[in-house]
Amino acid sequence: MSLICLFPGQGSQSAGMGAEVFDRYADWTLEADAILGYSIRELCLHDPRGELVLTQFTQPALFVVNALTYRAKREDGMAQPDFAAGHSLGEYNALLAAEVFPFATGLRLVRERGRIMGTVTGGGMSAVIGLAPETIQETLDASEEGRRLDVANFNSSEQTVIAGPKADLAAVAPALEAAGAKGVIALNVSAPFHSRYMRAAQAEFAAALKDAHFATPVLPVISNLSGRPYEADMVRQTLSEQIGNSVRWLESMQYLLAQPDPQFVECGPGTVLTKIVDRMRRKKR
């Protein structure tokens, strides 16, 4: 059996998340409060100021809840996984599970990542449903508006997310539907994440990563950037380039599904990632 831990990213957050782990792990909860300058428990459980949807708050909140959930599962008897993977922000939790950095270091990196990404405004993202990624790319390449868009997330063979200027997203929707898409759904996000329009943020975050220390992973972590395990000496560069490039989740899951008897455990709020895996498995049958 191959035990695989998956960690969700932005979009999985909801008020009330982490209720079962904050009091259990007061040490990390207090450490997070000191690093962030606010109560992470209050934000996640009650969100009194409506901040949980803001990137600079969402990313630290998810990192903490994912980390506490993984810690609880390990202490409750789950073995060390054979592989770990995280969707976008969740990749930091996969690296934490692989002991690449300690909790406090990971949270400081995520706080800075969220701050930098939160300064990017304009543009948007749309989920394209029921159309193969190759057909989506061909459709985008066929128009001027489409060529200003990037594929941001290869989530599955049935769902791909594109990103760029909102007017261009709206302009290509009819062509995507004509090519066979079951729907083109605008996402409630503040910026075109994982696209060329994040390259300035990527460069700024690269500078923030310069002084961080990264240990060799103790277990394989699947990179969003390549869909393959991290190379030990490429952690810094991979984390930087992740911001402005596609999340290759489909390739990551195909790689993991090819492992001997893969068993997936989602460590964080919700089950969006395990549902993607389940759909992929059903499609293969």
Q: Which positions are catalytic?
A: 88, 194
Question: Shortest CA distance to 262 belongs to which of 237, 245, 241, 280?
Answer: 280
Question: What is the DSSP annotation of 147-159?
Answer: HT-EEEEE--SSE
d(CA 48, CA 54): 13
